Structure 1
Amino acid sequence: MTYKETYQLWLNEPTLLKEEKEKLLNLDEKEKEEAFFQDLSFGTGGIRGILGLGPNRINKYTIQRVTLGFVNYLKKHNKLNGVAISYDNRFGSYEFAYEAAKVLAYHGIRSFIFKKLRPTPMLSFLVRHFNASAGIMLTASHNPKEYNGFKAYNETGAQLTIEESNEVIEEISQIKSPFGIESTDNDHIHWIGDEIDKLYLDKVKNISIHKDPKAIKVVYSPLHGTGGTVIPKLLEDSGYEVLTVAEQMQVDPAFTHTKSSNPEDDIAYEKGIELAKKHQADVVFVTDPDADRLGLAYLSNGTYHILNGNQTGSMMLYYMLTEKKQPQGMVYTTVVTSHLIKKIAKSFKQAVGETLTGFKFIGEQAEKNQGKIPYIFGCEESYGSLVSDFVRDKDAVQAVYLLAEIVNTLHLRKQSIGTYLNEIYKKYGYYVEDTLSLTFKGIEGAKRMKQITEYVRHHGIDIQGFDVLKTTDYIGGITNDYDIYLPPSNVIKFESKDGFIIFRPSGTEPKLKIYYSVKGINLKVTSLKLKTYQE
């Protein structure tokens, strides 16, 4: 069926509201093609896309269709012990969460849904707390305000495995129309208040290593998202002096007072650093809308320095291993994360489990190894980490708590984050990383991104000074150490004696990501080397 025919079907749909039909009539030809040329694809973690009408957009109808597919999967496997639901601050998130709960209710499946927005890690916690069969999180994570999404979780509180996702995809494909999907509001829908907050936060507090008096000032911003519901209280209850960015504490789907909701972007720290300068705060924390990613800026010699995800992950792991004797266990990382994580872990005789990009794979391995290999830590370069595996997805609430303790401990020892990182670099080598994201919009953009990836796959790279010693193409799947299977993925890794360059089309955004990691004798030389490779 052509996009024009699909568009006409939607336009003629009798259940569509008058204002919805008016929106359809106001679309130009390019907008029609983009919204109707395909169904939104259910990836390994769910669906994510631009808000709007059409099968290639996030709307009430696509959410109902995906939920019904998920319901049919759950019924097929007799997974009927309820579904936990949470949502972020985005346009439609609450409404979509409620629609999902009503579809579940019609089919006799209980839902446990937060009355107010809560972070992704709390959704994972809710699944495990109620021994639910599944979870649903309505979020587009750190994407721009035009996006929303539906993330699916299994009974362990981790995102669906690839095998589970494929089954859900098959069930969704059997639902030919997104219209007329039955739903109802009945007593199968259980609304959850703030009673879960204390249970979750008490678990977070258990990750603390030192119980020293708190001597630092902390600035925090949730960037209009879910982190504001629990993080300030967590820090204040623990004795920290907390300053919040007032305008960014507002739950706002338009993200009015931030230029970016992504901690990977320096502009996301702008207002936090402004507030920190006024009060000479020691550290600035920002979390993305669903509070699974954390960014940090620290004060040194009157200037605030922003760390990347590899640096925060390395620092957290080093602190955990040096400040407390840990059992011999497993540290989890991903193929695009700095090798510094591996070096730190191995120096403490910890096993290292490397997975594909995406915390779903780390959550899956943590579950697989439960009771066999102690979980020590997990992180990825994109500002996500998990300190304690009482949840099974990345958790910025835990990250804030541990990093605040690290900053406080260093402050009491007359040290700074800068000197602490330098201590790590001196011990393990100087690592510098960067990620280049190339955006490809629309149908033509997707074609171009595919062309570039295929060219690199078949011709390799020719970069002065970067002598390729090893090429790994993950397109066919490989098995790593500790029998960790990495399923087929569109990732190509080039390694030299002092680093790697990786090409990876994003699975959730129209972006081609190029990851650079370089090791050198000092930061200046290493940074220059990285710059040369990028030119």
Structure 2
Amino acid sequence: MDNKNEKKEYERWLTNATADADVVAELKMLDDTKIEDAFYRDLAFGTGGLRGVIGAGTNRMNIYTVAKASQGLADYLKKNFVEPSVAIGYDSRIKSDVFAKVAAGVFAANGVKVNIWHVLMPVPTVSFATRYLHTSAGVMVTASHNPSKYNGYKVYGTDGCQITTEVAAEILAEIEKLDIFADVKTSNFEAGVANGSIQYIPDEVYIAFVEQVKRQSVLFGEEVNKDVAIVYSPLNGTGLKPVTRTLREMDYTNITVVKEQEQPDGNFPTCPYPNPEIKEAMALGMEYAKKCDADLLLATDPDCDRVGIAVKNKSGEYELLTGNQTGMLLLDYICSQRVKHGKMPDDPVMVKTIVTMDMGEQIASHYGLRTINVLTGFKFIGEQIGKLEKQGKADSYVFGFEESYGYLTGSYVRDKDGVDGAYMICEMFSYYATKGISLLDKLDELYKTYGYCLNTLHSYEFDGSAGFAKMQNIMQAFRGEIKEFGGKKVVKLLDYAPGLDGLPKSNVLKFLLEDNCSIVVRPSGTEPKLKTYISVSAENKEVAEKEEVEIRKSAEECLK
């Protein structure tokens, strides 16, 4: 939109957007600069669905943008399914329940049968319900680990996997045909529940989900000490009930929950950035762990699809593990147990993203697993499980993980699962603790076996329309003739934009550097950020950290 059109659309919203008092109030407060940012584009819809700041305007998450997306999805479902249906879930974020009910009302008005969780639930339960109830699609209202001002709308296919690029494009085409006020059919949520067009998902589905998580154990009858002291934080999200229930039913009873972060609260008062990847979000949990002298700290993000952990080191301090480190430990534990008990499937497979630590591939290879590398995003891991299932090999899938703290040990869902991740981490921890081995000891052992590897992630913010344009220009600059990063020569450039190695087209660059190092550059699909992932192989931690700094400085020169 140009300025004239933005102003015109703003005036239209002033007239028509009257159903939400918050939107009405905000529209009246907008100045010209804020009008431009709120209306310069429609909130982008892609494979991750919608994600944006809650507020008034076409570039914001509100009941109108949610309703328009739901109408587009309903039109797509009606074209592709004889009796279309949907499963809906929502997390603890501001307005998540409101947006879920608005979406349900739109689907019901369009003759799409609605199944909705009656309370807030983690992301994986929507993937599970979609599969269990055989619905045509799933919708989860969440912005994952973003700050509290954000919300989002994820869409799942009938296979329980986040939608593919092709399906996202088809749904987007339907959305783009619509006028946000004139073309959206709506209906009252409570009336839908009363007449049966909207139904609550029965408890049997939740029970079945928990049972599937419990079945992921690889102890195969071995006895371990389950009285380890665990501190758990749901970071004011959806993990509290499913995580504590699963652990208690599997006899982990020594659990202390971080009181300030126990109950759902979309304002995230003690962790403004509720992401277990960052130290600040884990700080309160670490204080609790010290007070309780806990063996293990676990935290799940608000929609409970990621897990972060901290463990006690030899000097009694708590050390945070990265997603890569936890993923490698889980991979090694699961594989070693399967091999030990003769439970490894035929043609076993591990799936990881291209930005996830390459050491994962070495561990997999050691145990005879085939590694499939996919683009960033767990949906691509889910897609690979689906392909194995179609070949009659769903059991071949052993483990999938990504560096951003996402793990999945079974094929019962097609997205990362923080409930499963939390449970399997506790089992792994207990197994080693019973033998007097800490996770840090085990990690050192892996480094001794496969060589030291350091992986880091750096994010750079580019807000607004100017920031969006700058990110595009930076990506083009990276595609220039770059010969080295931090003194390490570029051996090969992998550009995924035209499609590579059978993967979908994606605006991602991976520079393979000498000495088995690499750097990946990509714009975030969900935030106004450019991300760089640096991987350094070296003889020890000190050398790796020094080399990483040089590579990062070199990459940052291209961001100016």
TM norm. shorter chain > 0.5: yes
Q: What secondary structure, in the 3-state scheme, does the structure 1 residue paired with 2:332 have?
A: helix
Aligned 8 A contact 2:16 2:181 in 1: no
Deviation at 1:79, TM superposition (A): 5.4
Which of these residues, 317, 337, 346, is aligned with residue 365 of structure 2?
A: 346
* Unaligned runs of at least 5 residues, structure 1: 480-484
Q: Which residue of 1 aligns with 2:158?
A: 155
Aligned 8 A contact 1:215 1:411 in 2: no
| C-alpha spacing 1:3/1:412, structure 2 compared with 1 (3 Å) | same
Q: Which amino acid aligns with 1:238?
A: M
Which of these residues, 258, 270, 287, is aligned with residue 283 of structure 2?
A: 270
CA distance in structure 1 between the aligned counterparts of 2:367 and 2:405, rounded to whole angstroms: 23
Q: Which amino acid aligns with 1:354?
A: N
Aligned 8 A contact 2:26 2:55 in 1: no
CA distance in structure 1 between the aligned counterparts of 2:22 and 2:545, rounded to whole angstroms: 54
Q: Which residue of 2 aligns with 1:331?
A: 350
Does residue 54 of structure 2 align to residue 51 of structure 1?
yes
Does residue 388 of structure 2 align to residue 369 of structure 1?
yes
Does residue 419 of structure 2 align to residue 391 of structure 1?
no
Does residue 510 of structure 2 align to residue 493 of structure 1?
yes
Aligned 8 A contact 2:350 2:364 in 1: yes
| C-alpha spacing 1:79/1:393, structure 2 compared with 1 (3 Å) | farther
1:350-408, Cα deviation, whole Å (9 max, x unpaired):
11111100011111111011113611111111111111110000011111111101111
CA distance in structure 2 between the aligned counterparts of 1:161 and 1:382, rounded to whole angstroms: 20
1:166-213, Cα deviation, whole Å (9 max, x unpaired):
110111111122456222232111113544332111111111122424
Q: Which amino acid aligns with 2:79?
A: K
Deviation at 1:13, TM superposition (A): 1.9
Deviation at 1:266, TM superposition (A): 0.8
Matches within 5 A, 1:67-86: 67-78=70-81, 80-86=83-89
Q: Which amino acid aligns with 1:233?
A: R
Q: Which residue of 2 aligns with 1:525?
A: 543
Q: What secondary structure, in the 3-state scheme, does the structure 1 residue paired with 2:266 have?
A: coil
Aligned 8 A contact 1:116 1:193 in 2: no
Q: Which residue of 2 aligns with 1:130?
A: 133
Q: What secondary structure, in the 3-state scheme, does the structure 2 residue paired with 1:256 have?
A: coil
- Shifted more, 12-21 versus 45-54: the winner is 12-21
Q: Which residue of 1 aligns with 2:326?
A: 312
- Shifted more, 39-48 versus 170-179: the winner is 170-179
Which of these residues, 350, 374, 377, is aligned with residue 355 of structure 1?
A: 374
CA distance in structure 2 between the aligned counterparts of 1:79 and 1:141, rounded to whole angstroms: 32
CA distance in structure 2 between the aligned counterparts of 1:179 and 1:41, rounded to whole angstroms: 20
Which of these residues, 46, 62, 65, is aligned with residue 62 of structure 1?
A: 65
- Shifted more, 176-185 versus 117-126: the winner is 176-185
Deviation at 1:461, TM superposition (A): 5.5
* Unaligned runs of at least 5 residues, structure 2: 554-560
CA distance in structure 1 between the aligned counterparts of 2:453 and 2:183, rounded to whole angstroms: 55
Does residue 99 of structure 2 align to residue 96 of structure 1?
yes
Q: Which runs of 4+ in 1 moved over 4 A?
A: 14-19
Alignment TM-score, normalising by the size of structure 1: 0.96
Does residue 56 of structure 2 align to residue 40 of structure 1?
no
| C-alpha spacing 1:447/1:212, structure 2 compared with 1 (3 Å) | same
CA distance in structure 2 between the aligned counterparts of 1:19 and 1:399, rounded to whole angstroms: 37
Matches within 5 A, 1:227-266: 227-240=239-252, 241-266=254-279
Percent identity of paired positions between Structure 1 and Structure 2: 39
Q: Which residue of 1 aligns with 2:474?
A: 452
CA distance in structure 2 between the aligned counterparts of 1:284 and 1:123, rounded to whole angstroms: 26
1:75-97, Cα deviation, whole Å (9 max, x unpaired):
10125352110000011100111
Which of these residues, 268, 278, 281, is aligned with residue 294 of structure 2?
A: 281
CA distance in structure 2 between the aligned counterparts of 1:292 and 1:81, rounded to whole angstroms: 27
Q: Which amino acid aligns with 2:228?
A: I
| C-alpha spacing 1:20/1:465, structure 2 compared with 1 (3 Å) | closer
| C-alpha spacing 1:183/1:14, structure 2 compared with 1 (3 Å) | closer
Aligned 8 A contact 2:353 2:402 in 1: yes
Alignment TM-score, normalising by the size of structure 2: 0.92
Q: Which residue of 1 aligns with 2:197?
A: 188
Q: Which residue of 2 aligns with 1:482?
A: none
Q: Which amino acid aligns with 2:375?
A: L
Aligned 8 A contact 1:64 1:178 in 2: no
Q: Which amino acid aligns with 1:172?
A: I
CA distance in structure 2 between the aligned counterparts of 1:359 and 1:461, rounded to whole angstroms: 32
CA distance in structure 2 between the aligned counterparts of 1:393 and 1:18, rounded to whole angstroms: 35
CA distance in structure 2 between the aligned counterparts of 1:105 and 1:39, rounded to whole angstroms: 24
